[in-house]
Structure formats: structure tokens, C-alpha cells
Amino acid sequence: MVTRLALDTVIKQALEEDIRQGDITSDILIDESADATAHISAKEDFILAGSLVAARVFEIIDPDIRIRTFFNDGDSVRSGDTIITLDGGLRNILAGERVALNFLARLCGIATMTRRYVEAVKGSGVKIYDTRKTTPNLRYMEKEAVIAGGGYNHRFGLYDGILIKDNHVKYCGGVAKAVFEAKKHRMNYVKIEVEVKSLAQVREAITAGADIIMLDNMPPDTVKEALAIVGGKAVTEVSGGVTMENVADYAKRSPDFISVGALTHSARAVDISLLIE
Amino acid sequence: MVTRLALDTVIKQALEEDIRQGDITSDILIDESADATAHISAKEDFILAGSLVAARVFEIIDPDIRIRTFFNDGDSVRSGDTIITLDGGLRNILAGERVALNFLARLCGIATMTRRYVEAVKGSGVKIYDTRKTTPNLRYMEKEAVIAGGGYNHRFGLYDGILIKDNHVKYCGGVAKAVFEAKKHRMNYVKIEVEVKSLAQVREAITAGADIIMLDNMPPDTVKEALAIVGGKAVTEVSGGVTMENVADYAKRSPDFISVGALTHSARAVDISLLIE
Amino acid sequence: MVTRLALDTVIKQALEEDIRQGDITSDILIDESADATAHISAKEDFILAGSLVAARVFEIIDPDIRIRTFFNDGDSVRSGDTIITLDGGLRNILAGERVALNFLARLCGIATMTRRYVEAVKGSGVKIYDTRKTTPNLRYMEKEAVIAGGGYNHRFGLYDGILIKDNHVKYCGGVAKAVFEAKKHRMNYVKIEVEVKSLAQVREAITAGADIIMLDNMPPDTVKEALAIVGGKAVTEVSGGVTMENVADYAKRSPDFISVGALTHSARAVDISLLIE
Amino acid sequence: MVTRLALDTVIKQALEEDIRQGDITSDILIDESADATAHISAKEDFILAGSLVAARVFEIIDPDIRIRTFFNDGDSVRSGDTIITLDGGLRNILAGERVALNFLARLCGIATMTRRYVEAVKGSGVKIYDTRKTTPNLRYMEKEAVIAGGGYNHRFGLYDGILIKDNHVKYCGGVAKAVFEAKKHRMNYVKIEVEVKSLAQVREAITAGADIIMLDNMPPDTVKEALAIVGGKAVTEVSGGVTMENVADYAKRSPDFISVGALTHSARAVDISLLIE
Amino acid sequence: MVTRLALDTVIKQALEEDIRQGDITSDILIDESADATAHISAKEDFILAGSLVAARVFEIIDPDIRIRTFFNDGDSVRSGDTIITLDGGLRNILAGERVALNFLARLCGIATMTRRYVEAVKGSGVKIYDTRKTTPNLRYMEKEAVIAGGGYNHRFGLYDGILIKDNHVKYCGGVAKAVFEAKKHRMNYVKIEVEVKSLAQVREAITAGADIIMLDNMPPDTVKEALAIVGGKAVTEVSGGVTMENVADYAKRSPDFISVGALTHSARAVDISLLIE
Amino acid sequence: MVTRLALDTVIKQALEEDIRQGDITSDILIDESADATAHISAKEDFILAGSLVAARVFEIIDPDIRIRTFFNDGDSVRSGDTIITLDGGLRNILAGERVALNFLARLCGIATMTRRYVEAVKGSGVKIYDTRKTTPNLRYMEKEAVIAGGGYNHRFGLYDGILIKDNHVKYCGGVAKAVFEAKKHRMNYVKIEVEVKSLAQVREAITAGADIIMLDNMPPDTVKEALAIVGGKAVTEVSGGVTMENVADYAKRSPDFISVGALTHSARAVDISLLIE
């Protein structure tokens, strides 16, 4: 989904950040013409994401490195599995190692946490969504990792969806006023989502004709009542305070989807290494 | 430590990522001339980092927003504390909200985890260091967050330190050969660090005259033996497999410092919100 | 709506394109310290757009130029009216002249053509929309000029709306199949628009549950039949082959909106000049 | 004439503007591995320009798309003619469609209007020139389109030619003073052009030794008198108020060239489509 | 002459090159709030150039540094003279020191060598010109330094002047053929210069109507003969093999100007220091 | 040592600086399809450096130009030797000529001067180092040229080495205080260098435990005394006032290395030409 142009910019900046005037260790220890085979391998079990990003790091450093991948994004990888094998100039392989692993470990971490949430709600028909709580400048990649994990993407930015949040509601003087105001405007082709914090606000949102209602920080039982009020007249999203412990509980209430900020802001990196033969 | 120029580039890209053609929600709901006061507040206890980054986000969006900060990086912030207060155009405040919070929550998360490690080794005189396992393109900021947490910075990239790792050792045919080779070269003003995995390699490193020895993935007892071998003839670093559970144990052995990748690759974001009055 | 950051990039590139190593004429003829007052004036009647872009050109060249504007975007300007008055360094005013006028003349042209279409459908309640047929790299500005003219904005890019066009329909094997496929996917918060070319396709689109139906290149009478089929079950857009001559005829059929590519791809520039006192 | 480096920058920005995080319609409807053949075809008669720009758009998106072109810039294309055929990944072809067509339609529009002016003065030996009234950031491309149409390029910016305009004349206190001043300066290798508005100014310009005289906004009969005064002692340019209706009339007076701002600021886009087989 | 936009880009890159993640020495030794007064002083006699560049370095690093300049570009500075005084944050002053001095020392070196050539031809009326043999990416600045030294600028690039060189002549089959071909083309407003290496070629150039003739690598006596052949029918330039030793000899022959590549490619840096009070 | 990414940025900017909208001479004189063989040849004796930079210039302009190189960086080239032969499109070869030669002549100049210094200290075991007195934005290339000449690289910027200079010493209140302060800080893996100007300061530096001592602007005899004081307890650098005349004298005293700013700030360009067959 991410275009190659956008991807390359991020990767080139990351390489520049790490390498700059050169890898002074390899420059003095590794012969310029030395070739090697290197394996990028899992050191724990996880869901793969970002394998194309990691491969692209090496393509950008040196188009002559031969890259073989053995899994697709979304696959379950076991500790010990080789994910990518590289053949080519050893200096260039080592120059890209850290950047490639930093991307990969982070993106796999996101996919893995997403998969755990998806598994936790399995059978409920409820979808797991991400948020805009992503790492600055890595949003596209991270949202792709969410998809690799089996999740879905919420809006990409302030520009591609109307989401009326608490601060907007406060400014407009209420949920109904805010939704009415939004509907008056020039956005025939965009759905209107509104964040609500109480059952009273749910009723306002329905009356005002919101397309999507975000039930913010409500306990599962309140969510149940809210969904009864909505009665299928709008798409429903549960958001705020969702954890691995309570997500199944929320899913039982059958909202359309549940969004989880932690997928992108708090996933831990998985353990991956690069070793030469 | 980060220069304003480098900082601004990262922030501008992040704003462009989130805002692009505009905040379509605020554009239709908030009057262009509306002013407001907004508070960025802690929703849990944590160590502050990145407060200047967050402030700079709003300065870049709109130099007329008045920004007041109430804590310094490194301070302990309590749940409920107001960290930053903003006065100015409401549209612009909301336009910067998500980007500012994404930086802040991540950097405070790093500082907070760092502080926990620092506390865990308190009294031992051992320093906690970061690694290059940082988020691509956010390395400078993240390393500043480590300092805010009481930690120290390892090298910033491949360019500013010689670190002979396992792959180099394998290529050179041993620790001693690698260190000798490095010493022959043109880097009078750079120390030579070498990663070792066994006591035999520790001995090689000392004999070859390494300046710093990284004891990689050794259990605390092996570390103790290794330090005895080193006997003060080199700076010593413990690295690999360090966790909150075992860090104090390592510290008791008194290496010079312990480096922890998790500080930057696996800290969870802290909970922070922005609310208008 | 356009953020200052995005705007500045476009303006700086345009200044660099025109000025590069310097204005060799003014450099030899105008004293570095010479000040002047200059007026940007209309040489024909038109609708104003882009006045902030023009002003920003001079701010970027020289923050010390004093800029006074006498109209807002969307205002009717008469031949002879002064739009902007500049006081400051003459060299810098002349350095920005051509770039500022090139933006302004083009954007006013778009607003003026938009206003003519809007006037032509006045009273019908039908909205005039733009398309993605904009000048490469000026899309945000041009879409703002459409709003200044009284029009509305269609999607900004491939990224912020689902529009199933003829090539998609052909690939998917029909309108219904394409819409069903789209609905299956992960875009709860995005409406689904589909382009149809026949009444049969209109029926398919309605059955499949499209949110918006674009009636492409249909004569006004066919549009009337299509709208009867839709019967309010979807938002309707007329597109293709719309001209000043037939737009009123289309509007009489009461689709929700009519989109006109010519607004941005074929408006002629208006005549504007800059003269020093 | 435009270098590939400059061209690529403009194209990449335009693709980023249109595609950003991805083509959400094609991403859900078109299989990643689907291939197709697509034809870019004329839907009216026009003069071709920008064919290499359009081809480059697809090369940049995907180097594996096979591109065949059937005409050269400057050729007359008939409605129905296929200009370019593309074979390759369907997603990538559709991702580039709008950007490629936006460039092509605009540049062909410029070439077509230029050709009409060139035809209108055929046999007179008078050349048709463009101006700096180009689209910001597309100047090089647009000036190439003028050449494709049979026209010639005036200066590219403030940096590559001395053109003393009315504001300079006013500041310097007259045409003669301005030209003398310019001749005193350090530009042995640049010709000096001056804009004049009256026969008295023509005489001044000749006496002062201007290399090129721009006869600004003079009726054809005044141009005739002006040319008599010049008597071959300078190159002559007619500029201002030139239209398709009066250009032949001006050409009869035999100035060296006539410059027409409308070529680049007011040409309408031609109608071109991309269809898959 | 250089625009502020172009200048800032070069300076920011240079600061990023030198500072990157920070000045690790000053960060640990200088208190963040320490203020100081620093003087940039001459340690030998030279002609000043680049003083605005040096000042701009500090403005970019820290707009709060107060900058006082005591000379203008083109002034003679004596060893011991203070050129610029800075008051402000000591860390920021030291952060900019090396970059500012590197620009300044180089540009003063160019101005100083230029002045020596200008002095050497004093009274002859012959102008000293630079060439395109400048430092990559510093051309504008270096050409300004030439002007500060009393010299003149030749063309800025391949884009703003026609200069037919030996390789063109060889390809076209002779000087006359090349000049005729150039005159046929679409460049009414650009003069045509041709490089000649023999008196026969001078004659060809004159016959063909070249505007400027570059006498390449001719001994002074041959230049004299060449000028006699030209007889005022073209502007004349002496180029190639000009040194401080022979420039006066060339000037005696009275060509219009003499161009010297060494001004920009081989001037040595002058000695300048920055000291805090 | 320089990565291809960093190199390409500098080269593309340099090409854009020189070519911009195109090479107007070659565009009118050279047929677009004309091919040629061109030789880049030495017109004097020198040490080669930058040959990969020069080759890369042509690769970037046109990947179809065939490039053959006949020497490696560091080789001695004789006047008349062909360094690089190019086969391909003549227009593109000429478009890159000046930029390639400007890089090459400058870098060979640096290598050649470095080699002269290295030869002058031959047999002494003393190394010749560069400084940060490089051309802004060309530092990496220039430091590679120093290596080609047989020299060594000092730190690359403020970020990769601690060098306590006179201004730091003054601020800290003495050499000892400054070194102690630096040692307290968080830089276990960086050596600490301090600049001293007197024998008293040498003693302070040794007592405080500096890793490297820069003997600044001392006459050879004082250097001798200083080295006696150091007595092998620190690495020693001679810096300041070193010339071709006195460098051997300094080398006789056997410091570890001598740094020479002139290598990069005052080397004259060598004479190189490009001629087509």
C-alpha cells in the first residue's frame, strides 16, 4: 500500500542517520571486495511485517546484493526461522544491518501485538483497528504492519476523515450541534464520525445523523447499552481503555470495530538477528 | 543536544504526514478566528522528556501560540499534572495535538523506562547506556530522552565509534586479529571497542589492547569472571539479555556500564492528553 | 485550508525557478536601499482567490515588506481595484512580482470560472464540484480557489476516497461486483462511489449499495431517468461533458452535485498588474 | 532540454500529491499481480507535447511497465489516435494515470495554442515567443511545449536576461537613462532589452543603444511606425494585447518576434483518456 | 545578488555536515545558559568577502545572537582588525565557528586574489572575469566574492549564455559552421560567444558574426594580432594560461576582458580566527 | 568511505547548479542522437583522487554512458595520461564535463598537496592529518582525497570527537579543569583531546589525563620539550603554522601526527581537460 517513493525517502533518511560519513569499523576491518552470505533470523516467535522494507534497505545500499525472502508479511515465524538471506558485498550488508533490523523488529512487534488482539476477538466478527497514535514519520509502514497482523486501518491523518472529538464537541456546544454543523458542509463523500462519552451523547449522535459513533472509554456494559440505542443506525467503534484483558469482553457486545492505540504506540520490538555464514 | 535545524525537519515531516491538505474536521467546525487555552496533562506518573519537541511542534505550526511549560525534561510528573499550557488559535492547537502527543508520549516512555533501570542499579556506580536500536529517524530525540531518564548515550551511528562485533570477529578470524587490525588503522582519536562472547575472547581482547570490552550475553557470574580477567585494563560494558529483573544482579559485578536496547525499542508510550478549557 | 508549511514549499520552489542567482536587471538598475510603494491591481473584473498566496510570496522574499490587502478571497473585484499594496525594498518587490502574479492570475481565473458555473445553477440547490484534473503540485491552492468561487472539493487524491471508475469496473467484471468487493474491505469510514455509464449500471450500483453514484457523460434526459432509479438511495454526481452551455440543464434534474474538470484544467488567467507609485 | 533530474523532482512531487499513502480504490479492487495493457488516446485533435513527461511518470512508478510511444512532440494527433501504450502492473498503471494525463493534457494544450499562433503568422517570418507567465514550478516543461508547438522561448527567469520594464524605467527616470545605466554594468555577454510604450521611448532606446526593444501594448499601426524608427538597429519584439484575432495584423508589420503570455497562462487542457484493454 | 533562500540552503547543509547530533565538546564543558562576546578577526591582510554569509550562519543557528559587522565586502582588512563581533549564547557561537570561518576564509581568499589581478591590470580598462571553475554548490557565493574583489562575472551556468567551445567546434566542423548554426536558432536575446585557438579561427568567427570571441591560450603577441583582426567587430575575451605574472602583459593588448579560472579554483584561504573575550 | 547516497545528493545539486533548464549551447549545436568518445586527461603531474566522483557525475546524467577508468585514487598520474574515457551521448557528456572536472581538479589538488607533505615526513613514522577546515558540504570527499594522498582523517565534525580548544579552556578556567570536567561526562567511548599552547599547559593536560594533546602553534624546539614532558603518556598532535618548509623539522621531533589545514583549504586545483575524439 505504501508507494515505493514514500518508502525510499524514509529509508534513505534512516541510512543517513546511521551511516553518515561511513561505517568506520567495517571500513578498516572488512576488505572492500569481500562477499558474504548473511541470514536474518527470528530469535523468538512472531508475526512477520516489514519484510519488504528490510529488503528495500539493502537494495538501496547496493542493488547488487541478492535478496531472498522466505515468508510473506502476515505469516507466523518461529524462533530460528530464516526470514531473509542476503548474498553480496559484506561491507554493504553490515552497513544496512542495524537500519533493516530496527525497521523489521518494530514492524513485526506491531503485527504480533495486532494478531494477539485479533485472536482475542476471534469469532466475534468484530474488527481490530489502529489509530493515529503512530510513530512520527513511520505511519504508513506501521499501518501496513497492522494489516499484516490481521487488523484494519483507521484514517491516515486529519485530512482523510471527519472525526468530531471531545474538543470539537466542547467548542460546538454539544454532540448534536457539532454533527449538524458538519453535515451542512461540503463533504458529500466523507462519512461523519463523532466521539461520545455518555449514553445521552449517543442519542444526540443518532438523532443528528452521524455515520459512525465512537464510544469512548465506556465500560463493556455501557457499550452494550449504547449499541442498543444505536440499533444499527450507525457504524459503531469502541475506543479508549481497551487492553488484552478486556478486549474480548468488549467484542462480545458486538460493536463494528474496536480501535487500539497500543498496537502502534506500545508494541515491543521482537528479537531478530543478522549473522554471516 | 539536538540542533534546532535537525529537529525542525523531523517535526515538519511529521506534521505533513498528519495534516497534509488540512484538518477537515476542524476546518468545518472551528471558526478561523477562535482562540482557546489548552492544557497538555499527564494521565499517569512518568519521567518527562521531549517537552521542547512538543513545544516546537506548536511554534512551527503557528508562532503566535503562547506556550508555557511547567516542568523540565528529567522531572517526575504526576498523573493530573499540567505539563504545557497553550494559548492561541484553536484550529492550530488542534492541528498540532496528535503530532505533539505522539512525540511526547513516546519520549516520556523512554525516559521513564530508563529511570526505572537507573533506579534499579542505584548505588552501584554503574551507568545505564542506550544502543543504536532506536526508531529510524528519531535517534537524536530518543537518545536525549535516555539522558532525561538518567542514562547515557552509546555511539550515535556507525560513523562515530569503532565497535567490533561478532560478524567482524568472524570475518577477521578472531578477536585478537580484529583488534590488532583496527589498531593499525588511521583512527588515533577513536577508542576501539570489541564484543566478546567467552572468557577466552576476553583474554584475547585484553592482550590485543582493546579500549572497551563489551561482554555480550553473559550470565552475571561469567561477567564477574570476565571483569576479573580485565582487571581494570579496559572499560567494560555488559550488553545483551539485560532486563529489569536481572539488571541489579549485573550491576553488582561492577562493570563500567550496562547497555539496554529495550530503552528505545520497547518502551511503551505514556498516557497524555490535550484538553481545551 | 492549506497549511503554511505546504504552501511555503511550493512558493520557495517557484521563487527559485524564477530568480535563481538573482534578478540581473534590478541588481544593476535599482539601488539596494531603494524603497517603494507598489499596487497589485485588477485589469478586468474577476473573483479573487489566492490573495494569501500572493502576500506570502513577498513575506518569504522579505519579511520587512509591509503588505496591505483590500479584499478577501471570494470577493468580486472590479477592473481598476487595488487588491494588495506593498511598501518596502523595491528590489525585493520586483523580485517577487512575476511569481506572485502568476499564482494570483491563475487562481483568480479558477475562482472566476467556478463562480460562473455556480451562478449558472443558482437556485437549483445543486453544488458545483472540482475534480483531480488540477495542475500538478498546485492542487491544494487550486481547490481553495474553487471554494473561493463558491464551489466544493471532490477528493484530494487517490488516498482519501474510494471512486470505482470504468477501468476498475471492467477489471472486476461489472459495477455490482466491484461495489460488493469494495464493501467487503476494511474501509468502514469511507463512502464508496462508483462511476456508471448506463441506466443498467445505475440499477446495479443501487442494488450493490453504493454510497455515491457518478453519472458519467450522460445527456440531461438520461440523468433524469437515472435519478428516478436512484430515488434518494444514494448521493448523485453528474460528471463528464459539462459545459457553461449545458450546466443549467443538468442542474434542473437535481443531482446532488455536478463536477467540472474545466474549473481547474482550463480556466484562463485573469489580467493583473503590479505598478510602483 | 529539461534535464532528467529536474523533471523527476516535479513528477515525484506530483505523484506524492496524488497518491500519498496509496490508491485505496485499486488496492482493494485490483489484484497486486494483475497485468494489463492500457492505451492513452486523444479524444480531440491537438499538437502533442509532454509525451516524455507522461512516459517518465510511469517509469518512475514502476520501471517494469513497458512503454511504447507512437508520436513525437510537435506531431499533429487526431482524435482517436493512441499516443502511448502501456503494458504492466495494472495497479501501477492506474496509480499514474491522473498525474500523467494532467501533465499531458496541459502541455498539449500549450503546444496546440502555440501552433495556432504560429499558423496565424505563417509566411511572415515572424517568430512566436512565450513569456515568464508560466505555471509556477512547471516553467521548463511549458517552455518545451511552446517549442513543440513551433514557438520560441523568451528568457527562463530573472537571472538569464536583462529586460528593463516599465517599473525600472520609472525608477531610473526614463528609457535612455535606464539603458545607459545597464550598459555601464558588468554584463558583456548579455543583451539589453527594454520595454517601451511610446514612439518617443523607441527613439530613446535606439539612441541609448538597446539591443532589443519590446514594443508594449501598441496598436499595429504604431508598431509599424516604431519599426520604421528602429530601422534594423535593434531586434524588435511585440508584446501585450496580442490575440488570435490581431496577431496576423501585427505580424504583417514584421517585428522580429511577437510574445504571447496566453500560450502558457490561458491554454485550455486537451481531452485525453487512458483505457485498459 | 544571491537570494536568501538559496543561501540558507547551503548554510544549513554545512551546519548539518559539521554539527549533526551536536557539539559533544561544548555540550559537556559549556553551560547551556552561558553568554559570551566573541570577535572574528583577521590574522593577515586581505579583501573582505562573505561577511553576510558568516553573519547568516549565526542567525540561522540562533536568532538571538547579536551580530555587529565593521566592514563591507570589498573593503581592505588589516591583520588584527575585528570583522564581526558576536554577543550571545556561547554554545551556539562555538557551534557555528568552524562553518562560518570556512566560508569566510575561502571567500576572502577569492576576493583577495581577484583584487591582485585587478590591481595588476589597473589603468588598462580591461576587466577581470571569473569562470565556471568554481567549487561545486558554492558558485553564487564565489561569484559574489569575485565582485567584492573588483572582478566581473562570466555566465553562471550552461543555461544562461551560449559559449561555443572547442568540442562544439570540432563536432560542427569549424568555427564558422558552429556560429552560423547557433545564429539560426531561437535565442534572439542571447549573445553568441565562441572560443578560438588560432588567427584563422578569429577570422572565421568575425565573418560568421560572433558577438564575443574568446581567445584561448594565445600568447600576448598573438592576442594582439587577433584583436587587430577583430577590429572592434566583437567583444573580446582572453582566457587560458593567464597568471599573475603575465596578466599585465595581456591587459596591455586591450581585450575587453580577461577571465581567470584560478580566482575560484585555486585561491588559498585567508587566516581568520574567532576568540571569546 | 562516502556512501553513495550522500555522494549523489552533492552531485545532483552541483549538476542542477550548472545546468538548470539545459545546456543552451549544446542543445542548439549537438544532435540529440550524436555519440562520441571523450577522454579526461591530465595536463600536469598529480596524485589522483575523486575518480569515482567524476565517474558518478556521468552515471547520474546518463546511465548509458560507458565509463572506463585507468587509474585508482592514490595513483600518480603523469601529464598526458588519460584518466577516464567516456563513450555515449555527446550532449550528456558535455553537460557533465564542467561539474566532473570541478570535482576532480579540486580533489586531485588536495591529494597532491597531501602527498607532498607525506613525502616530506617520509621515514619519520609521523602521520599527516587533515582538519575540519574543509569546503562546506564537500567534507567527506575532501577527507577521502586526503587518504588518497596518503594522509589520515581527523574528526569529521563536532559530533564525533572531543577536542577541547582554546575557547573552551578559557571558559573552564584552565586546561586541567576542562579535561577533568570532560572526563566526568558520559563519553566512555570517546577519547579526550585538548589543545595546549604552552609547556605549562602540557603538564596540566598530562596530569589531568588527556588522551590526546594538540600542541598548537609551537616552534619545533618547543614541540621537542613538550614531547619530553608527555613522555608517551598521551597521543601527540602538532597543529598550527605547519608549512611545507617546516613540516620535516616538526616530524623530526616525532609527535604521533601533524595536522595541516592547508591540505583542504588552500590546495590549488590541478589542470585536467575533457576532449572528444
Which residue among the candidates C216, C237, C253, C256 is catalytic per the annotation?
A: C216
Instruction: For C151-163, write each residue's pLDDT tens digit.
Output: 999 999 999 889 9
Whether residue A186 has pLDDT greater than 90: no
Active-site residue set of A? 98, 133, 165, 195, 216
Weakest mean pLDDT among A271-275, C45-49, E60-64: E60-64
Report the CATH number that the domain containing residue E180 is assigned in CATH: 3.20.20.70
Examine the residue annotation and report whether C23 is marked as an active-site residue of this protein.
Answer: no
- Residues of chain C with C-beta less than 8 angstroms from the C-beta of D164: 25, 29
Other Cβ atoms closer than 10 A to E39? 17
**Whether residues E197 and E208 fall in one domain:** yes
Give dist(CA A265, CA A263) in Å, integer.
Answer: 6
Whether residue C89 has pLDDT greater than 60: yes
Beta carbons of F259 and F237 less than 8 angstroms apart: yes
Active site residues of F: 98, 133, 165, 195, 216
Looking at the structure of chain B, the number of domains it has is 2
Chains with 3+ CB–CB pairs under 8 A to B are A, C, E, F
Looking at the structure, do residues F76 and F137 belong to the same domain, yes or no?
Answer: no
- Contact B152/F211, CB-based, under 8 Å? no
> How far apart are the C-alpha atoms of B163 and B140, rounded to whole Å?
19
Residue A158 touches chain D, beta carbons under 8 Å:
no
Is E16–B5 a contact, with Cβ atoms under 8 angstroms apart? yes
The reply to whether E127 and E58 lie within a common domain is no
User: Could you give the percent of chain A with pLDDT greater than 90?
Assistant: 91
Q: Find which of A12, A20, A64 to mutate to test the F interface (most F CBs within 10 Å of its CB).
A: A20
Residue of D20, D25, D26, D92 for testing the chain A interface, max A β-carbons within 10 Å: D20
Query: How much of chain E, in percent, has pLDDT values that exceed 90?
Result: 90
Q: Which of residues 49-78 of D touch A (CB under 8 A)?
A: 60-61
For C208, C214, C215, F250, the CA distances from C199, given in Å and listed in that order, are: 14, 12, 9, 94
Check whether residue A212 and residue A272 sit in a common domain.
Answer: no
- The Cα of C237 is separated from the nearest Cα of chain B by a number of Å equal to 21
Which pLDDT band holds residue E1 (cuts at 50, 70, 90)?
A: very low
User: Which E residues, 112 through 151, put their C-beta within 8 Å of a C-beta on chain F?
Assistant: 132-139
Q: Is the pLDDT of residue D2 over 60?
A: no
Tens digit of pLDDT for each residue in E233-249?
999 999 999 999 999 99
Judge whether residue E88 has pLDDT over 50.
Answer: yes
Closest-CA residue of C relative to B17 is C6
- Nearest-angstrom CA–CA distance, A113 and B212: 37
D162–C90: do the CB atoms touch at under 8 Å?
no
Inter-chain residue contact C2 with B16, CB threshold 8 Å: no
Both B260 and B272 in one domain: the answer is no
Within chain B, residue ranges assigned H as helices are 4-19, 24-29, 51-61, 90-120, 139-148, 166-172, 175-184, 199-208, 220-230, 247-252, 262-265
> Are D153 and D237 members of one domain?
yes
Which of 198-217 (E) contact D at CB < 8 A?
211-212
Interface test with C, best of A188, A235, A257 (most C CBs within 10 A): A188
Structure confidence at residue A21 (pLDDT): 84
ipTM of this predicted structure = 0.95
**Residue F210 · residue F192 · CB < 8 Å:** yes
pLDDT value at residue A1: 45
- Chain E positions in Cβ-Cβ contact with residue C61 (cut-off 8 Å): 3-4
**CA-based nearest distance B197→chain A, Å:** 15
Looking at the fold, whether D100 and D130 belong to one and the same domain comes out as no
Give the distance from CA B182 to its chain's centroid: 28
B190 in contact with F, Cβ within 8 Å? yes
Q: What is the CATH number of the domain that holds C113?
A: 3.90.1170.20
Q: pLDDT tens digit string along D96-132? A: 999 999 999 999 999 999 999 999 999 999 999 999 9
State whether A76 and A138 are in the same domain.
no
Confidence of residue B160 (pLDDT cuts 50, 70, 90): confident
Q: Helical H runs in chain D?
A: 4-19, 24-29, 51-61, 90-120, 139-148, 166-172, 175-184, 199-208, 220-230, 247-252, 262-265
CA distance F40 to chain A (A): 26
The answer to whether residue E262 neighbours chain F at the CB level (below 8 Å) is yes
Q: Which residue, among D261, D257, D259, has the nearest Cα to D125 in the 3D structure?
A: D257
- Helix (H) / strand (E) element for A4: namely helix A4-19
Domain that holds residue A70: 4-118+268-276
CB distance D156–F19 less than 8 Å?
Answer: no
Q: Which residues of F touch D4 (CB under 8 A)?
A: 61
**D127 & D234 share domain:** yes
Question: Do C186 and A127 make contact, defined as CB atoms within 8 angstroms?
Answer: yes
Instruction: Name every residue whose Cβ is closer than 8 Å to that of residue B200 and which is 6 or more positions away in sequence.
Output: none
Instruction: Decide if F25 touches B, using CB distance below 8 A.
Output: no
On whether the CB atoms of residues A71 and A238 are closer than 8 A, the answer is no
Residue scoring higher pLDDT (C5 or F199): F199
Residues of E with Cβ-Cβ distance to F157 under 8 angstroms = 17-20
Rg of chain D on CA atoms, in Å: 23
Distance of alpha carbon C27 from its chain centroid, rounded? Answer: 36
Judged by CB atoms within 8 Å, which residues 73-112 of A form the interface with C? none
CB-CB neighbours of E57 under 10 Å = 28
Taking CA atoms, D6 is separated from A61, D11, D53, F22, in Å, by 23, 9, 11, 10
A220 with A191, same domain: the answer is yes
The C-alpha cell that represents B123 in the structure block = 548505588
Instruction: Give the tens place of pLDDT for each residue, A131-171.
Output: 999 999 999 999 999 999 999 999 999 998 899 999 999 99
Residues in chain D with CB shorter than 8 Å from the CB of F16 are: 3, 5-6
Q: Are residues E51 and E146 in the same domain?
A: no
Convert the pLDDT of each residue in D202-214 to its tens digit.
999 999 999 999 9
> What average pLDDT does this structure show over A180-200?
88
Catalytic annotation on C165? yes
Is pLDDT above 70 for F256? yes
pLDDT in tens, E250-264: 999 999 999 999 999
Contact B6, B242 (CB under 8 A): no
CA distance E211 to E191: 6
Q: What is the pLDDT of residue B188?
A: 66
Is the pLDDT confidence value at B186 over 80? no
Partner E contacted by C20 (CB < 8 A)? yes
Identify the pLDDT of residue F20. 87
Could you report the per-residue pLDDT of D80-91, keeping only the tens digit for each? Answer: 999 999 999 999
pLDDT the model gives residue B1? 46
What does chain C look like in DSSP terms, one character per residue? ---HHHHHHHHHHHHHHHHTT--HHHHHHS-TT-EEEEEEEESS-EE---HHHHHHHHHHH-TTSEEEE---TT-EE-TT-EEEEEEEEHHHHHHHHHHHHHHHHHHHHHHHHHHHHHHHTTTS-PEEE--S-PPTT-HHHHHHHHHHTT-B---SSTTS-EEE-HHHHHHHTSHHHHHHHHHHSS-TTB-EEEEE-SHHHHHHHHHHT-SEEEEES--HHHHHHHHHHHTTSSEEEEESS--TTTHHHHHHT--SEEE-THHHHSPPPPPEEEEE-
| Residue of chain D nearest A155, judged by CA positions | D21
Tell me which chain D residue has its CA closest to the CA of residue C132.
D98
My answer on whether C108 and C169 are in the same domain is no
Question: Which residues share a beta bridge with A152?
Answer: A129
Mutation target to probe the A interface, by most A beta carbons within 10 A, among C189, C193, C212, C237 is C189
Identify the three-state secondary structure at position D182: helix
Candidate list B59, B98, B181, B211, residue with the active-site label: B98
